[in-house]
Amino acid sequence: MKKLIGLTLLSAAIAGCATSPTGRNQFMLVSPQSAIVESEKAYASTMVELDKESKLITDPAWVKRISTITGRLVTEAVKMEPSTKSWKWSVGIIDDPQTLNAWCMAGGRMAIYSGIVTQLKLTDDEIAQIMGHEISHALANHTAERMSRAVAMNAGLMATAVITDNNGLAMTGTAMAAKLALELPNSRTAESEADRIGIELATRAGYKPEAAVSLWNKMKQAGGSGGPQFLSTHPSPDNRATTLGKLGEDMMKLNPTLKKAPVTPVEIITNADQLM
């Protein structure tokens, strides 16, 4: 039985290899399409709750600003990965002055919190950098990769349950996989990969690459360093700013005049009915 489980997990791992846009080998047990389907469900559920709490911003100034910036980024994202043209690109602007966050799920479902814009006094260029970073997670299939890690972790628990004949542990493992699929953070490698792809997206869309440095400097000042890098799931703001600063000169070669990209229509989610 132990050999059978080991061979099954090994076969799954071999079958689940993929390559990221930067050429990195990825461990994939969950397909990108499955990640998109599950993300769409989670996104709808999240937006429904936010709508009930009247947390979705509808102010025209916010809507125009965010839709324009993300629309230009999406134009470049589709050029980089043409298959994403069919994604349901959308953004929920969340009224939460205390939260410094933004994210993009598999399939182009995005959100940005008002707190990160207002507390850090972000410029359009800095918003482009952070949303470019989040979009890059989706382009690089990091959601599917994260879910795959959860499945692998759960498979280990399931194997232990079979070996020890512990049905309770098996049930715990199944529940844990579902939980981890939503809660596991991206790896440091995935974060660095998204930084690299994101600064390129933003520059091609017409936004200053040096804004990536000022963004992470602001994050550091807001208390986002989180201690030494080896103790953190993500690279520290110091290291990110240094790395991104070195990329700036090469990025400018991609769009020397910082010509603004056309705006691809991106749906701003102002009420949950839009997702029904």
Please choose, from the candidates 197, 201, 196, 204, the residue with its C-alpha nearest in 3D space to the C-alpha of residue 244. 196
Q: Is 145 a catalytic residue?
A: no
Give the whole-angstrom CA distance, residue 192 versus residue 73: 19
DSSP string, 14-68: HHTEEE-TTS-EEE-SS-HHHHHHHHHHHHHHHHHHHHHTT-B---HHHHHHHHH
Q: Which residues contact 242 (CB under 8 A, 6 or more apart)?
A: none
Q: Under a CB-based contact definition with an 8 Å cutoff, are residues 186 and 173 in contact?
A: no
Q: Under a CB-based contact definition with an 8 Å cutoff, are residues 140 and 20 in contact?
A: yes
DSSP state of 224: -
Please choose, from the candidates 26, 19, 12, 11, the residue with its C-alpha nearest in 3D space to the C-alpha of residue 145. 26
Please choose, from the candidates 82, 205, 62, 85, the residue with its C-alpha nearest in 3D space to the C-alpha of residue 133. 205
Give the whole-angstrom CA distance, residue 148 versus residue 57: 33
Catalytic site residue from 134, 145, 193, 200: 134
Cα-flanking dihedrals φ and ψ of residue 223, to 5°? Answer: 90, 25
The residues carrying an active-site annotation are 134
